Structure 1
Amino acid sequence: MSEVKISAEPRTEFGKGGARRTRRAGLVPAVLYGHGEKPQHIALPVREFAAAIRHGGLNQIFTIDIAGNAAATLALPKAIQRDPIKDTFEHVDLLIVKRGEKIQVDVPVVLTGEAAKSTLVVHESNTVAVVADALHLPSELEVSVEGLEAGSRITAGDINLPQGTELAVEADYVLAMITASTQNAAPSEGEAGEGEATTEGQAAE
């Protein structure tokens, strides 16, 4: 995943009032921390930040150029608060990372293909924890369910990981289960009995 360069401004207003004014100015309040450095309160241009998240996902690495700082800082969004109604960004926590550093992140898992007929794919987890180079984080991981029969399981160990990426969970960590479709399940004794009674009744008439 490539880095996205973004400019930021130091933030001096705090509290709900200051945050509202920051958002009205087209910026999103954020805090930058990690690696033993003092937390920095900054504001990011919301349009650029939103576009980068849409394209690269939650594990997008940013090169943040803070006005007044001599050097840019690499950072990864660690927590993003959104307004549940407006779906706007309320606040962002950014974790400082270093080149060559390996970090643990949750990566979306995409299931491809189609399981066998008369089955259902039940998702147990939509993400999996991995450890990878901070500048080479996978945006998503794929695993196929093509032709799998009822009773099959998809586990973390089934994922073909990119070079340099390792699982941070056990290989038997379940991501999905293949089950029989309920439409094809055999009727229960009660259902069968009701069906027989109806048939007998119709015959009697």
Structure 2
Amino acid sequence: MRRLLALAAVVVACMGFLMFGGAASVAQAQEAGRAIADYRLGSGDKIRVITFGEEALTGEFFVGGSGKVSFPLIGEVQAAGLSAPEFQRAVEAALKEGYLKEPRVSVEVLNYRPFYILGEVTKPGEYPYTNGLTVLNAVATANGFTYRANTKKVFIKRANSDKEEELALTSSTQVAPGDTIRIAERFF
């Protein structure tokens, strides 16, 4: 009888986790997936373009300062501001204009542009972006907070914005490629 009650308690606990704790995990995974799906190419990104059956049109490319990628045969193709699938369609359309009948192109981002962190961190500077980066991960990359750091809020200037926004510093505050993070000084 005791074993049966213990087993029932374990089943109820697992169901509770799946219903309540699991929901938070699913929401976080959806949020992380949305951030990657909404990613827009920008200057400094490194991409891999594969044109199936055409080795000369396959390779790794950088998005230049002008926001364009210099591509064999078709020249420069606008990349900044486009998602990877949009850029893929732009390359396919350019290749269809007199070069290939039915081009099949695949595009993936190899290296995202860096993020920047400044203010009350031990080593402010430029660091490489990784998927799923949070402010706390960024601070850890910069060797942690200084003793004067305000650990309650953070200021982030998004890459595509002119304004700095103030956010609560939590473990889920996301950072995007090209963002500038500022950790303010606390006042006693």
Structure number with greater Rg is 1
> How does the TM-score come out when normalised to structure 1?
0.24
> How does the TM-score come out when normalised to structure 2?
0.26
Q: Give 1 or 2: higher helix fraction.
A: 2
Q: Give 1 or 2: higher strand fraction.
A: 1
